[in-house]
Amino acid sequence: MPVFSVSIVPLGVAIPAAVAGLAYLNAKTALWYDLSLARGFLPAAIKNTWREHYDRANNFYKLEDRAQTKSSANRIFLMYEDRTWTYAQSYDMALRYGNWLQKKYDIKKGDIVAMDMMNSDHFVLLTFGLWSIGAKPAYINYNLTGKPLTHCVKAAGTTLMLVEPDVADKVDDDIRGELKDLRIELLTPELMTEIEQTDPTRPLDELRQGQLARDMAILIYTSGTTGLPKAAVVAWGKLTMAGTIAAGFINMKPGDIFYTCMPIYHSSATIMGYSAILEAGATFAIGRKFSTKTYWKEARKFNATMVQYVGETCRYLLAAPPQLDPVTGENLDKKHRVRVAFGNGLRPDVWEKFRDRFGIDTVSEFYGATEGFFATWNSTRNPYAAGAIGRNGWLFALVMKTRLAVIDVDPDTDLPVRDPKTGLGRSARRGAVGELMFVMPDDSADRFQGYYKNKKATDSKVVRNILRKDDRWFRTGDLVSWDGEGRMYFHDRIGDTYRWKSENVATTEVAQAMGAHPAVIEANVYGVQLPHHDGRAGCAALALQPDVYAAAAAEKQQELMRGLADHARNSLPKYAVPIFLRVVTDMTAQTTGTNKQQKHGLRVQGVDPEKVGGDELWWLRDGAYVKFGQKDWNELNGGRVKL
């Protein structure tokens, strides 16, 4: 069965009628939006069916096809630093990798090989090399060390790990001792020469035979908010489906150059990155890692027409000073060919500022999960829907209604609210906040591969008996609301929302309000437990402009803090005004490799002055923020302060 088959049929039927009625539709019905989605959906469903039928589900065949088609063979597939690889050259190199892995390490069909590498052209080439011999990669986050690293490698059940020399220091003797049975190889320059000199014979089809759309292509690890990373199966069908839909949605064409410096070990740069590029026959321009200093420089150098962002990336780019031409002094912010910024996690408070400053025509935001099987999409050229995470035209909404729901959850247990008589859950009222869930149809084994060999973790993502007896839903863990115009708004992650004075506080809403203050570069908000108090008190970890805080005199600091208190009071309900501020010297310690905020560490440290590592704490007293120190903490612990 093709992935997404259920949604495809009604959409396919609906389109001719819609086109006939085109004259009656205005912009608000968002037909263009439906069509840009349809541009991806139909071809995607057809492709998956076709590829299974001809036993071509393995993405190696797609590269082979591009490499052997006259019009695409000499088009550039990969760019990295000063290297370029055409489709034909990439294919040739993938074959060399495949043969080398077979001969040197005896890698067989179905084997999993761990890759501990930073971004480069070879990351992608090695992936295709593994696929060429029917093996599969497990992408390891190269920043992992210690237990999380050994956990990820063990969870993959692999016998070989290839490590890039630049991250070899993380694979120390302890790790090697822990992973005694694993062969660990550094991809040294000598080894790279050996690979380049291996013959590029095409491995037999037998090695890639019998793969279905639901079979594993890659293991990718999701960094949960707590605990160890979980290995999620990314299937061929998901690469094809999401890649095709993404390419259709942002209208990617063969001439497009898509730049990313988001880590390829993460699903964004893989599923929405190089698999979309392969489907479109476009060019993948790869940055080593994210830095505000190199992002636009590289986008210019590669002549990128599309760039990718994840999490707080756009916020960091906005906070950085403009780059100036070293000769003319000209501001280079708008000197690029980028039409589209594509990604997920862009917050409403930076959306328009980002478009304005860098002169980006279209921002396309997607919503989806590595381990899930569905995505919703949003794209904007104007501020109409700024801040929504999903915007559905009426056509698409017809289809989506049957696929997703916003379900009432109990904020104390984080579980669906159930009718005591029937035991069923219920949809949240329009406009009200609930958890976004996707229905799992009977054939959903195809779509939801869940976590690799981890049934418990997989099951925890699924709930039953929600709208009907025996139905099954995939929990996204995201609290959202719909408005009357088909726009969906993201409120918070379940578990991040906290209760204070018997009210629910969404951390994203507080972060957005604090982030709107001109002195604030970034706000990460969470609830902290306090002795002798119920619920959790709001704390905002703030990265502040250095000239107004770190380099300012004490009275200037106090003035700023008074201003922040006024700002918070004017933009938030009383119960949501943060009680504590934590001025953070290094916010990057609280973000993931994909620039996503993490709260767990901050929450655990709370406001104990001994645990905040030199960051300064302030608290709200008589309407103003004042310094919070050990003495105040002792008073709180002694129960002598009531907030």
Ligand X SMILES: *[C@@H]1O[C@H](CO)[C@@H](O)[C@H](O)[C@H]1NC(C)=O
Contact footprint for ligand X (CB under 6 A): 142-143, 167, 302-303, 348, 351, 365, 367, 376-378, 380, 383-391
- Toward ligand X, which CB reaches closer, 125 or 144? 144
**Minimum CB distance to ligand X, residue 386 (Å):** 4
CA torsion sign, 84 to 89 to 90 to 95?
negative
**Minimum CB distance to ligand X, residue 602 (Å):** 16
Q: Which of 228, 298, 289, 217 is nearest to 257 (CA)?
A: 298
- Toward ligand X, which CB reaches closer, 396 or 526? 396
**Minimum CB distance to ligand X, residue 80 (Å):** 11
Distance, CA of 179 to CA of 372 (rounded, Å): 30
Q: Which of 391, 348, 399, 386 is nearest to 367 (CA)?
A: 391
- Toward ligand X, which CB reaches closer, 32 or 384? 384
**Minimum CB distance to ligand X, residue 395 (Å):** 16
**Minimum CB distance to ligand X, residue 212 (Å):** 30
**Minimum CB distance to ligand X, residue 284 (Å):** 13
**Minimum CB distance to ligand X, residue 102 (Å):** 30
- Toward ligand X, which CB reaches closer, 344 or 370? 344
DSSP 243-256: HHHHHHHTT--TT-
- Toward ligand X, which CB reaches closer, 64 or 349? 349
Query: Is residue 546 exposed (0-12), middle (13-18) or buried (19+ Cβ within 10 Å)?
Result: exposed
Ranges of beta strands (E only) in 180-311 are 183-186, 216-222, 230-235, 257-260, 283-286, 306-310
Other Cβ atoms closer than 10 A to 350: 22
DSSP one-letter code for 203: P
Distance, CA of 322 to CA of 24 (rounded, Å): 45
Yes or no: say if 346 and 365 are a contact pair by the CB < 8 Å rule: yes
- Toward ligand X, which CB reaches closer, 385 or 523? 385
Residue 227, phi then psi, degrees to nearest 5:
75, -170
Residue 186, phi then psi, degrees to nearest 5:
-85, 135
- Toward ligand X, which CB reaches closer, 587 or 624? 587
Question: Tokens 């490799």 belong to which residue?
Answer: 593
**Among all residues, whose Cβ is closest to ligand X?**
378
- Toward ligand X, which CB reaches closer, 37 or 57? 37
**Minimum CB distance to ligand X, residue 164 (Å):** 9
333, HSE (Cβ side, Cα atoms, 13 Å): 15
**Minimum CB distance to ligand X, residue 208 (Å):** 33
**Minimum CB distance to ligand X, residue 125 (Å):** 19
Distance, CA of 299 to CA of 335 (rounded, Å): 10
**Minimum CB distance to ligand X, residue 423 (Å):** 33
- Toward ligand X, which CB reaches closer, 50 or 384? 384
Yes or no: say if 504 and 411 are a contact pair by the CB < 8 Å rule: yes
Distance, CA of 266 to CA of 369 (rounded, Å): 11
- Toward ligand X, which CB reaches closer, 91 or 377? 377
Total residue count of the chain as it appears in this document: 643
Tell me the two tokens of residue 522: 């970034």
- Toward ligand X, which CB reaches closer, 167 or 217? 167
Distance, CA of 496 to CA of 479 (rounded, Å): 10
Distance, CA of 75 to CA of 93 (rounded, Å): 15
**Which residues are CB-contacts of 413 (< 8 A; sequence separation ≥ 6)?**
none
